[in-house]
């Protein structure tokens, strides 16, 4: 395998990994916020953790966008044939529209929790 193919696979791995990390950070913020109501004595500590996860999720989002942009330029061959390639591109477009909505909804959901 040549270096370009190895870097393409690595880029895809980083893209998928940070997408999972982003979702885990959003879930962690929600769980930490829920704990603040149950354990008010540790609220200042939990709020600092929430903010830490929030800013880590921003970094993850930047990495997701950067590596996703890299994917745009590396997956250009008609590997599955022209018919399947058209379907794949439509599905990717639909997936990314849904994911952009999910990113926006995720931040709308946790911003008020983090910076209350």
Full-model pTM:
0.82
Lowest mean pLDDT among 12-26, 30-44, 73-87: 73-87
* Residue 84 pLDDT: 80
The Cα–Cα gap between 52 and 89 comes to 36
- Work out the angle at residue 100's Cα, subtended by the Cα atoms of residues 68 and 61, and round it to the nearest 5 degrees: 50
pLDDT of 92 = 84
95, 60, 1, 96 alpha-carbon torsion, rounded to 10°: 10
């Amino acid at each position: 395998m040549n270096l370009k193919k190895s870097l393409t696979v690595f880029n895809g791995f980083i893209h998928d990994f940070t997408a999972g990390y982003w979702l885990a950070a959003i879930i962690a913020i929600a769980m930490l916020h829920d704990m603040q109501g149950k354990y008010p004595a540790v609220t200042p500590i939990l709020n600092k953790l929430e903010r830490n996860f929030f800013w880590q999720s921003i970094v993850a989002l930047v990495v997701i966008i950067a590596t996703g942009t890299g994917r745009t330029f590396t997956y250009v061959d008609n590997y599955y044939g022209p018919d399947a390639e058209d379907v794949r591109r439509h599905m990717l477009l639909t997936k990314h529209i849904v994911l952009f909505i999910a990113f926006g909804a995720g931040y709308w959901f946790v911003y008020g929790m983090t910076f209350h």
